[in-house]
Amino acid sequence: MTLNIYGIRHHGPGSAKALLGALREQPPDILLLEGPGEAEDLLPFILDKDLQPPVAALIYNAKDLQEAHYLPFASFSPEFASIKWALKKEIPIKLIDLPISKQLGLEKAEKEKQDLIVFGEKHGNESDEMSADPLGFLAKVAGYEDRERWWEVHFENQDHPAEVFDSIMELMAHLRKETARTETPETLLREAHMREGIRQAIKDGHENIAVVCGAWHAPILRDTMEYKSSHDKSLLKGLPKINCAATWIPWNYEQLSTASGYGAGVISPEWYHLLFNNREDADIRWMTKAGRLLRKKDLSTSSAHIIGAVDLARSLAALRDLPIAGIEELEEAAIATFCEGNAAPLDLVRKKLVVGTRVGKVPKVIPVIPFQKDMEKIIKATRLGKYRDTNESHWLKGTMDKPKGGIDLRETNDLLKSQFLHRLNLLDIPWGAYQPASETDLGGFKEYWKLHWKASFAMRIIEAGMWGNTVEDAARNFILKKAKEAKDLNQLGTLLQQTLLAQVPNTISSVVSRLKDVSASTLNIPVLIKSVGPLVNSLRYGSSRQMNMMQLEEVLHGIIPRICLGIPAAGQSLDEDASQDFQQDLFTFNQDLQLLDRPELLSLWQEALEKLSISPSANPLLIGFANRMLLDAGWKNLQETSISLSFGLSKAQHKQDAALWIEGFLFGSGQLLIYQNELWGLINNWVQGLDKEDFEGILPLLRRGFADFSETERERMLDKARHPEIQNKIEEELLELEKSVLSDVQDLLAIISGSN
């Protein structure tokens, strides 16, 4: 019986090449791989022409979708390459790692702080650098920044004969012996399970066994017979287990990179892809692609530049005693030759040619849940497939002339796109980032979407499928349940907006009914105020989509009068911080009411502001703000406002209260002071009448009041303070000009009207 252990680097192109060579030299009668048994039924799909890596085996707890493991594969992954080879040769394959069902059980037990019966040697010093990261320590001693670069140079960038695995075995055996590091219980269990898998293969009568595993495990699996089977069985006995399901899902190189957080990822997937498929001229191909990309950015990249960059990269490799130029040499050469020493333009190259934008595909014959089938049907009907087959962001229907594209809700297919994307967002599958159009853009019938498909949506699709078998049913059930559970008006308001945008049938009345119930029991005025904005927006969305919004009108006509009646009392006895928060609430509420434009409600708002503007118990900040709102709306004229301002700044008022009055009055814009000389004079005279001590005391408040003004407004105020006569004359002339223009426009309209 022959047992060959091949210790590889997960996602290593050199490992994959050497492994295929070793398997061809000594074909096994069974192939054992470090992988969970739940994925075995997925392996035959690897020969399907429609399965294009990168892909991942998704293994998950069907009852709790938060519990899942992903096993990514690229075309250059040694495991993927060897499985594909064995399937073609009809050699049996077994995955012998600890099943995910048991790994999830262990994770759950750990969370619940259960005691696990796992015994192992506990020795070695974890704080010792070599014990904590043996390969990293070796890389550092050899002069490399990280272990991946060291491993890449010595094992991935070169063509090795099968004997390289003997060297890897010897290296790992030495490291495991010398470091004597503490292995985690999970590692001990996994290695015990893999040894049991080897014993089973021997028991089944296989004479030539090949085992493919991570290099670190290789010496332990080689010495399988030195461990007692009873010892391994005792470790594995009684482990908690969770029932799991498995499927293939598309993956991408961005997620395969270490930047995605996947522990066994690689820094440069696209470069590894090139190394695996075109090792002989990988540097030429890479530099040619880099030149093309940079040329699109208007950088000078002729054929001569490319040839020179390749020569420079090879020279750097020779100086560093490397067999071929690696990604570092290629990048350095590109910066020097194409970018004249500026590394910034190379960011584009890095994304495309180092990490890569490659996205995998899986066959349609792979069983999927009904929800996903409905998704696929809609994607095909709405022609959104091309936006999913890439891991880059794209504006929906974007063109050279219109980069942001945009869809028109009056067109049937565009409306379907909008409904579909909004429903996915509801279900926490944020494929599209929604950006509404302005009111003037096709009358509010246009939407903009930036689409970015992520492989992680695979799990969210399964989660969404728990709500229903179709996208519409799932969205409906989600909305109804969330509405029933919601106890917060803001949540319900947001849910209503999402519901209207998604246009899910038979849901709006339930959300609105729940809104009525919750609003009726809510006494907190700021909470009620915050609920108005989403409701007003919902009313506008419904109007643009030609939906009956009578129920929502009823809710608003119930909430807004209560708010207006409660505002004067809610503004009483608030400290400075609370007053500022309430001021912002009132400002937003005013904007919402102006958008709603209901005269009867605006009248109630006017009464509330008038009461607040003369309230003796309200904070001066709110009194000044209420006076400003009344003036802006035309409910109070300039003379009346001047009287209120004079009272607010009178000597009877505390100086800090007067400063707060001004701050509230000037909230949002300084144009009022620039153009209204009477108000300017009142404030100017008040400031000039302050003694030095009082002025210094209120200066921070005054600065805060003026801080939000634009730079232009502050400059004009400064000029007005320095040269009041000149500024007043300029402003008078501007006002006269405005009156003249307005008169001319009115005359023109009268002529047009008369001619009609």
155 and 195 belong to one structural domain = yes
13 lies in some domain: yes
DSSP-derived secondary structure letter, 52: B
**290 and 394, same domain (yes or no):** no
On whether both 173 and 84 belong to a single domain, the answer is yes
Which of 116-130, 331-345, 715-729 is least confident?
116-130
> Is there a single domain that holds both residue 237 and residue 302?
no
Tell me: the pLDDT tens digits for 278-325? 988 999 999 999 999 888 887 878 899 999 999 999 999 999 888 889
Give me 70's structure tokens.
Answer: 């992903």
What's the pLDDT at 445? Answer: 79
The verdict on residue 700 lying in a domain is no
**Per-residue model confidence as pLDDT tens digits over 613-625:** 888 888 888 998 8
Read off the tokens for 748.
């023109």
Specify the pairing of strand 446-451 against strand 394-395.
antiparallel
Q: pLDDT digit string (tens) for 248-267?
A: 988 888 888 864 444 466 88
Given 447, 464, 481, the domain boundary residue is: 464
Specify whether 386 is located in the same domain as 320: no
Q: How distant, in Å, are the alpha carbons of 40, 503, 663 from that of 539?
A: 53, 13, 34
Chain segment 550-559, per-residue pLDDT in tens: 777 888 888 8
| Amino acid, single-letter form, for residue 15 | S
pLDDT surpassing 60 at residue 546 = no
Q: Which of 628, 621, 691 is nearest to 658 (CA)?
A: 621
Res 639: pLDDT: 80
Q: In this structure, are residues 490 and 535 in contact, taking their beta carbons and an 8 Å threshold? A: no
Q: Which of 45-54, 225-234, 358-367, 411-420 has the lowest mean pLDDT?
A: 358-367
3-class secondary structure per residue, 4-30: EEEEECCCCHHHHHHHHHHHHHCCCCE
Domain assignment of residue 479, yes or no: no
Other CB atoms within a 10 A radius of the CB of residue 735 amount to 11
User: Same structural domain for residues 304 and 252?
Assistant: no
Residue type present at position 689: G
Buried b (16+ CB within 10 A) or exposed e, 654-689: ebebbbbbbbbbbbeebebbbebbebbebbeebbee
Residue span of the structural domain in which 100 resides: 2-42+50-260
Round to whole Å and give the CA distance between 266 and 264: 7
Mean pLDDT, range 103-120, rounded to an integer: 66
Do residues 246 and 39 make contact, with C-beta atoms less than 8 angstroms apart?
Answer: yes
- Residue 418 — pLDDT band, cuts 50, 70, 90? very high
- Are 208 and 292 found together in one domain? no
Whether a cis peptide bond, with omega within 30° of 0, leads into 724 is no
**CB neighbour class for 711 (10 Å; exposed up to 12, middle 13-18, buried from 19):** exposed
Residue 159 lies in a domain: yes
Lowest mean pLDDT among 111-115, 195-199, 700-704: 111-115
Question: H or E stretch including 286?
Answer: helix 282-296
Decide if 342 is inside a domain.
Answer: yes
What is the phi-psi region of residue 687: left when phi exceeds 0, alpha when psi lies from -120 to 50, beta otherwise?
Answer: alpha
Lowest mean pLDDT among 82-86, 146-150, 492-496, 552-556: 146-150
Rounded distance between C-alpha atoms, residue 425 and residue 241, angstroms: 34
Task: Tell me the pLDDT tens digit for each residue of 630-679.
Answer: 888 888 887 887 788 777 777 677 777 877 877 888 776 666 666 666 66
CA distance 742 to 380: 55
Q: For the ranges 112-116, 584-588, 693-697, which has the lowest average pLDDT?
A: 112-116
pLDDT bin (cut points 50, 70, 90) of residue 81 is very high
pLDDT tens, 500-532?
A: 888 888 888 888 888 888 888 788 888 888 888
Residue 205 lies in a domain: yes
**Last residue of some domain: 231, 260, 289?**
260
> 311 and 223 share a domain?
no
Rounded average pLDDT over 192-199: 96
| Same domain assignment for residues 192 and 142 | yes
Which bin fits 392, alpha (ψ -120 to 50), beta or left (φ > 0)?
beta
- Residue 38 counted as domain residue: yes
Average pLDDT, rounded, for the chain: 83
Q: Do 324 and 458 lie in a common domain?
A: no
Q: Residue 681 has what pLDDT?
A: 65
Residue 271 has pLDDT above 80, yes or no: yes
Count of C-beta atoms within a 10 Å radius of residue 301? 23
Q: What CA–CA distance (Å, rounded) separates 455 from 443?
A: 36
Q: Using 50, 70 and 90 to split pLDDT, how confident is the model at 228?
A: very high
Q: Does residue 379 share a domain with residue 347?
A: no
Q: Are 377 and 342 part of one and the same domain? A: no
How many domains are contained in the chain?
3
- The last residue of one of the domains, among 433, 464, 495, is 464
**Any idea which of 114-118, 204-208, 532-536 has the lowest mean pLDDT?**
114-118
Q: Which spans in 666-723 are helix H?
A: 671-675, 677-688, 692-707, 711-722
Host H or E run for residue 84: helix 78-88
Position 735 in a domain? no
